[in-house]
């Protein structure tokens, strides 16, 4: 870190400059206390798009087409403090293994890895990285950081609904977008939809419920989307709709309702927590929280509160302002002002739930979630 104008400037590298890498760039550009020092992507067009997103800040930014070359430079001449890994899911494992040889702080996009074995190995290596180099390691779980969702979580944790018994998460959205090289059409690259997309929601469940999952049942399939798509003659194999029910060790239960052919929905995410005293809901993108205490028929039924997000933050990405606040938490951990909020262990456990859900959907049976040292 270099000291500028009374605060420590953190110099970032972005590995993988596709859709999400560019969202990171646009959000980092909103901060006076960071600088982008390097870009790394094997695809020229992705690097060009990243340079366009950087605008005037592109001058002097180093470019690499290969992560090995970036790591070699980071170990010698290149001045860089932190790296964001936003390459495709199936590359996280190899990219992270290279980065663990450096002293860099690392924010890795979700899912940590595509398989449980890889996620286990990477979580162990991430802990060793932090122990030996002091480098912070965190996983990109955006949904915790959408401002209305953050407030929802804080209110549930503060006990507003009483003892939490039920947590329902609904995501009704558009189909998977096209990606560079179409990597997201196949479960072997993504881990499967329940890992790729739903690790976010499994992470939210663990975080909000405050306990570990014991077992789950997932019913899901690819019923509507991607039916006519072929890549080198191969049809995609990714779930586009599912229901998942999860039992937690503290007796709470949660469910996830995912539909990826519902782009007409008013709200993309609707989350409801019900305890023995009340119910609290949050709606994205409406940004409303709805509190419904257990009152009699004549009582005032609901209180609605809107959580506004600055336009500049909404415009810098596709995640309701979350990326900006995720960076804030990552930077606070780098500067030693707070602990890491989303650890490698959190990333591992979200993958474990996703892998269990994929298996449950395939085998059509309840799957026990492996104990991971809890």
Ligand X SMILES: NC(=O)c1ccc[n+]([C@@H]2O[C@H](COP(=O)([O-])OP(=O)(O)OC[C@H]3O[C@@H](n4cnc5c(N)ncnc54)[C@H](O)[C@@H]3O)[C@@H](O)[C@H]2O)c1
Distance between CA 301 and CA 295 in Å, rounded?
Answer: 7
Site for ligand X in 274-333 (CB under 6 A): 319
Which of 27, 46, 187, 189 contacts ligand X by CB under 6 A? 46
List C-alpha distances in Å: 265 to 172, 298, 372: 7, 32, 37
Which residue lies nearer to ligand X by CB, 23 or 281?
A: 23
Phi, psi at residue 172, to the nearest 5°?
Answer: -120, 110
Checking DSSP bridges between strand 288-293 and strand 303-306, what pairing results, if any?
Answer: antiparallel
By C-beta, is 46 or 280 nearer to ligand X? 46
Q: Which stretch binds ligand X (CB under 6 A): 53-61, 89-97, 298-306, 349-357?
A: 89-97
Q: Are 109 and 85 in contact (CB under 8 A)?
A: yes
**180 belongs to the binding site for ligand X (CB under 6 A):** yes
- Piece of 88-96, 155-163, 273-281, 361-369 that binds ligand X (CB under 6 A): 88-96
d(CA 5, CA 216): 51
Minimum CB distance to ligand X, residue 92 (Å): 6
Token code pair at residue 33: 């206390």
Part of the chain binding ligand X (CB under 6 A), chosen from 15-23, 148-156, 160-168, 303-311:
15-23
DSSP summary character for residue 76:
T
Q: Where are the beta strands (DSSP E) in the chain?
A: 2-4, 7-15, 34-40, 62-64, 82-85, 105-109, 137-140, 164-172, 213-221, 241-248, 253-259, 269-275, 278-284, 288-293, 303-306, 367-368
Smallest separation, CB 87 to ligand X (Å): 4
Please, are residues 366 and 360 in contact by the beta-carbon 8 Å criterion?
A: yes
Q: Are strands 82-85 and 105-109 parallel, antiparallel or unpaired?
A: parallel
Q: Using CB under 6 A, which of the segments 16-24, 237-245, 275-283, 359-367 binds ligand X?
A: 16-24
Q: Is 372 exposed, middle or buried (0-12, 13-18, 19+ CB in 10 A)?
A: middle
Interaction between residue 198 and ligand X (CB under 6 A)? no
- DSSP-assigned letter for residue 231: B
Is residue 15 near ligand X by the rule CB under 6 A?
Answer: yes
In whole angstroms, the minimum distance from the beta carbon of 111 to ligand X comes to 7
- 179 contacts ligand X (rule: CB under 6 A): yes
236 binds ligand X (CB under 6 A): no
Q: Per-residue contact track with ligand X, 138 to 167, x per CB under 6 A?
A: --x-x-------------------------
CA angle 291, 327, 68 (to 5 degrees): 140
* Out of 26, 35, 105, 110, the residue judged to bind ligand X by CB under 6 A: 110
Residue nearest to ligand X (CB): 18
The total number of residues written for the chain in this structure: 374
Q: What is residue 234's three-state secondary structure?
A: strand
Question: Which residues inside 50-79 make contact with ligand X, applying CB under 6 A?
Answer: 67
CB of 202 to ligand X, least distance (A): 14
253 binds ligand X (CB under 6 A): no
Choose the stretch contacting ligand X; rule: CB under 6 A; options: 29-37, 52-60, 84-92, 127-135.
84-92
Nearer to ligand X, 85 or 167 (CB): 85
Residues that bind ligand X (CB under 6 A): 15-21, 40-43, 46, 67, 86-89, 91, 95, 109-110, 140, 142, 179-180, 196, 319
């Amino acid at each position: 870190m270099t000291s500028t104008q009374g605060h420590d400037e953190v110099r970032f590298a972005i590995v993988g400059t596709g859709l999400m890498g560019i969202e990171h760039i646009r959000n980092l550009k909103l901060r006076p206390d960071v600088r982008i020092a390097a870009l790394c992507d094997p695809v020229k067009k992705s690097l060009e798009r990243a340079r366009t997103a950087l605008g005037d800040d592109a001058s002097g930014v180093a470019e690499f087409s290969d992560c090995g070359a970036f790591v070699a430079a980071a170990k010698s001449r290149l001045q860089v403090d932190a790296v964001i890994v936003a390459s495709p899911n199936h590359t996280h494992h190899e990219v992270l293994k290279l980065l663990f040889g450096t002293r860099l702080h690392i924010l890795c996009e979700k899912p940590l890895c595509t398989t449980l074995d890889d996620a286990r190995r990477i979580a162990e290596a991430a802990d060793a990285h932090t122990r030996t180099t002091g480098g912070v390691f965190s996983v990109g779980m955006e949904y915790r950081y959408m401002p209305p969702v953050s407030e929802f979580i804080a209110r549930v944790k503060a006990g507003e609904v009483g003892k939490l018994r039920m947590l329902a998460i609904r995501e009704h959205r558009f189909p998977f977008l096209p990606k560079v090289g179409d990597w997201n059409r196949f479960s072997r690259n993504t881990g499967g939809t329940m890992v790729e997309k739903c690790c976010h929601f499994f992470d939210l469940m663990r975080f909000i419920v405050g306990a570990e999952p014991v077992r789950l049942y997932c019913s899901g399939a690819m019923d509507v989307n991607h039916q006519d798509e072929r890549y080198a003659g191969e049809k995609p194999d990714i779930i586009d709709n599912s229901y998942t029910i999860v039992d937690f060790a503290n007796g709470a239960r949660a469910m996830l309702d995912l539909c990826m052919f519902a782009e007409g929905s008013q709200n993309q995410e609707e989350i409801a927590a019900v305890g023995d005293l009340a119910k609290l809901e949050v709606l994205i993108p409406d940004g409303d929280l709805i509190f419904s205490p257990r009152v009699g028929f004549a009582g005032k039924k609901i209180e609605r509160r809107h959580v506004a997000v600055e336009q500049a933050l909404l415009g810098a990405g596709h995640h309701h302002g979350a990326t900006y606040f995720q960076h804030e938490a990552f930077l606070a951990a780098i500067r030693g002002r707070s602990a890491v909020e989303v650890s490698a262990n959190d990333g591992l456990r979200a993958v474990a739930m996703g892998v269990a859900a994929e298996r449950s959907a395939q085998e059509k049976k309840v799957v026990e979630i492996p104990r991971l040292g809890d």
